[in-house]
Structure 1
Amino acid sequence: MEITAGGLLEIRITPADVGKRVSVRRVEDGGSGSPSFTDTVGVLTSWNEGVLTITRKDGVSVRIAESSLVAGKTVPPAPARRRGPAASFEELARVTARAWQPLESEPLGEWTLRAAAGFTRRANSVLPLGDPGIPLGEALARVTSWYAERGLPAYVQAATGAAGTQELLCAELERRGWVNEVSAEVRIGALAPVGDLDADVAGVRLTRTPDEDWLARYGKVRDPDLARRMLVEGPSVWFASLGGGRAVGRCVVDGRWAGFGAVTVAPEYRRQGLGTVVMTALARRALEEGASAAWLQVETDNPGARALYDGMGFATHHAYHHFRAAA
């Protein structure tokens, strides 16, 4: 926090700092007669009628009464990724979008409306990588009607922990009653260490299309024909299957990037390293195609997968959230 030469805390932020990353300290009554202090770091997404809203990198918006502030300052953007390849938010957003392509898309300014008959939220949500070209309220009304025409709920995929105005969009969606239905981390890392893992990949079968065993293990398929059509789309897509579907995975090679997804292990075979085996086999194939960096997405409520990826050297680049229009 900001401390003056006299040892006093200072508030060095104003409403003009909306959109900047800030660090603030506020005083709270702990109920015991002695005050306590709480620090919050994030993007200042609004300051209206004596209340500040700060959106943290985990997507949670914290409302703070201006009267409770004891210190505050702007702080530099989040530091560059601690490990793994350098990557901008926009580069990763476009690479991850190409890995889960919709059946139908339509531009709205710099936004992209995507639909795929409801198969995966990623392919059935708006990708807002800039200005929609019209006021936000009109843009969201257009989004809602576009998805309603297709019998689908309206979703917007927005990020936190990323450069630009994504945090502001998250806060505005929340203010307008859109519900953050699910959050996930986008993690990145070097590809070679995954391929170099000591794993016996002899039993892993790699194919260009998913077979019945693969689809059955993936388990998120209501329409097999639609799933096959969707899953094979991408720059260079590979499917891995181990032991007749005991463990499966998917990898999309796109230039320097290899994107891992759909890594699923049968419940009775978990904690035996089969997910690692599948990813190692896919990584070695991606290395043969010239990839050097890796990315994956993991939901924040999946501690087992997050621990696995921690051990492989993947670090969180940013988080994304699927906001659903209020009913």
Structure 2
Amino acid sequence: MEISAAGRLEVRITPADVGKRVSVRSLIEYGPSGERFTDTVGVLTSWDNGVLCLTRRGGESVRIAEAALVAGKVVPSAPARRRGPAASYEELARVAARAWRPLESERLGDWELRAAGGFTRRANSVLPLGDPGVPLDEALVAVRRWYAERGLPPYVQTATGAEGAQEPLCAELERRGWVREVTAELWTGGLAPVADLGAEPSGVALSREADAAWLARYRRKGVGEVALRVLESGPSVWFATVPGDGAPAAIGRCVVDGRWAGFAAVEVDPARRRQGLATAVMAALARRALAEGASAAWLQVEDDNEGARALYRRMGFAVHHAYHHHRAPHAPESSAPDGDGAP
């Protein structure tokens, strides 16, 4: 908190700081163990009618009455990350989008409207990387119309927690009643350490196509032509399979795109877990990506998948940013899981 030379806490933020990352201390009516204050760090997304709205790294919006402020200051726009290759949010968002291409897309200014028959929210949502070229309300009307024409619920994908991310857009969507339905994280790490984890030969077969055996292990059963086209999209796509009795014991997918290798669909037969198969799959894919010139890795993981998160931490991955899908008010919820991240 900001402390003056006289030792007093001071509020050193104003409505002119909207859009900046701030740290504030505010009064609370009731707190644990008799505490009277609470601290909040996030992007100041609005300051209207005596109420501040801060959006935290995980996408949660916090409203604070101006009268409750005790102290506040502007802090660096993004916390320093201790691990992982340097990358901007926009770079990673574009890389991730190329790894999971829709069947149909259309530009609305700097926004990309994407559709793939409802297979995963990522392939059926707006990727807003910049200005839509029209006022926000007009852009959202166009978004709703575009998805209605395709019989799909309108979604906008946003991100928080990294420099250049979209906390202000998250707040504007929620102010208009859009529902934050899904939150996950994109993690990054070095590629060579992953490749070194699996000794060769690992018993992992690599292919350019998701064949019947691979699909037999893929957790989304009944994958049709649309889903298969999405799965096989990307600059350089590889599928890994560990043979098993009937269905494969483990599978994985990797998309190589310049310096980046993106991992997804790493799945293991429940009866074969804790045998190092997920590590073997990722190591084999990492070696293939290194051979194609990649040096950095990324993957996506849901925030409640503790097993996967522990595995990726051991591999040297760290959180880069959180991403969310906002559904239009009154639109039916999609029944399709996000699907593009590793389990």
Q: Considering the TM-score relative to the shorter chain, is it more than 0.5? A: yes
1:321 aligned partner: 324
**1:207 partnered with 2:219:** no
1:35 Cα deviation from its structure 2 partner: 4.8
2:288 aligned partner: 285
1:201 Cα deviation from its structure 2 partner: 4.6
Query: How far apart in 2 are the matches of 1:211 and 1:32?
Result: 55
1:243 Cα deviation from its structure 2 partner: 1.8
**1:253 partnered with 2:256:** yes
The 8 Å contact of residues 159 and 165 in structure 2, kept in 1 or not, is answered as no
**1:73 partnered with 2:73:** yes
Query: How far apart in 2 are the matches of 1:221 and 1:119?
Result: 12
Q: Which amino acid aligns with 2:212?
A: E
1:32 Cα deviation from its structure 2 partner: 9.0
1:115 aligned partner: 115
2:178 aligned partner: 178
1:33 Cα deviation from its structure 2 partner: 10
Query: How far apart in 2 are the matches of 1:17 and 1:268?
Result: 54
Query: How far apart in 1 are the matches of 2:14 and 2:183?
Result: 30
1:188 aligned partner: 188
1:273 aligned partner: 276
**Can you list the C-alpha shifts for 1:88-132, whole angstroms capped at 9, x where unaligned?**
111111100000000000000000000000111111110000000
Query: How far apart in 1 are the matches of 2:167 and 2:218?
Result: 32
Distance 1:108 1:235, change over 3 A: same
1:296 aligned partner: 299
1:312 to 285, 299, 315: 315
Distance 1:207 1:186, change over 3 A: same
The 8 Å contact of residues 221 and 227 in structure 1, kept in 2 or not, is answered as no
Query: How far apart in 2 are the matches of 1:45 and 1:221?
Result: 41
1:199 Cα deviation from its structure 2 partner: 4.2
1:194 Cα deviation from its structure 2 partner: 0.1
The 8 Å contact of residues 250 and 262 in structure 1, kept in 2 or not, is answered as yes
Which stretch of the first structure deviates more once superposed, 61-70 or 265-274? 265-274
TM-score (norm 2): 0.92
Distance 1:148 1:80, change over 3 A: same
**Can you list the C-alpha shifts for 1:245-283, whole angstroms capped at 9, x where unaligned?**
111100000011100001111222222221111101100
The 8 Å contact of residues 202 and 280 in structure 2, kept in 1 or not, is answered as no
Q: Which amino acid aligns with 1:118?
A: G
**Can you list the C-alpha shifts for 1:43-102, whole angstroms capped at 9, x where unaligned?**
000111111110001111111111111000111111343222111111111100000000
1:34 Cα deviation from its structure 2 partner: 5.1
Query: How far apart in 2 are the matches of 1:34 and 1:311?
Result: 39
Which stretch of the first structure deviates more once superposed, 236-245 or 98-107? 236-245
Q: Which amino acid aligns with 1:278?
A: V
State how 1:136-147 maps to structure 2 within 5 Å: 136-147=136-147
Query: How far apart in 1 are the matches of 2:35 and 2:202?
Result: 62
The 8 Å contact of residues 27 and 35 in structure 1, kept in 2 or not, is answered as no
Distance 1:103 1:33, change over 3 A: closer
1:221 Cα deviation from its structure 2 partner: 4.1
The alignment partner of 2:10 has SS state of coil
Query: How far apart in 2 are the matches of 1:52 and 1:129?
Result: 25
1:198 Cα deviation from its structure 2 partner: 4.0
The 8 Å contact of residues 18 and 45 in structure 1, kept in 2 or not, is answered as yes
1:235 aligned partner: 235
Query: How far apart in 1 are the matches of 2:191 and 2:199?
Result: 15
The 8 Å contact of residues 201 and 277 in structure 1, kept in 2 or not, is answered as no
**Can you list the C-alpha shifts for 1:128-166, whole angstroms capped at 9, x where unaligned?**
000000010110111011011001111100000122361
1:83 aligned partner: 83
1:154 aligned partner: 154
Query: How far apart in 2 are the matches of 1:12 and 1:98?
Result: 42
1:181 Cα deviation from its structure 2 partner: 0.9
5+ residue gaps, structure 1, are none
Which stretch of the first structure deviates more once superposed, 115-124 or 78-87? 78-87
Distance 1:55 1:201, change over 3 A: farther
2:131 aligned partner: 131
Query: How far apart in 2 are the matches of 1:212 and 1:291?
Result: 28
Query: How far apart in 2 are the matches of 1:98 and 1:198?
Result: 27
2:5 aligned partner: 5
The 8 Å contact of residues 111 and 127 in structure 1, kept in 2 or not, is answered as yes
The alignment partner of 1:29 has SS state of coil
Tell me the percent identity: 71
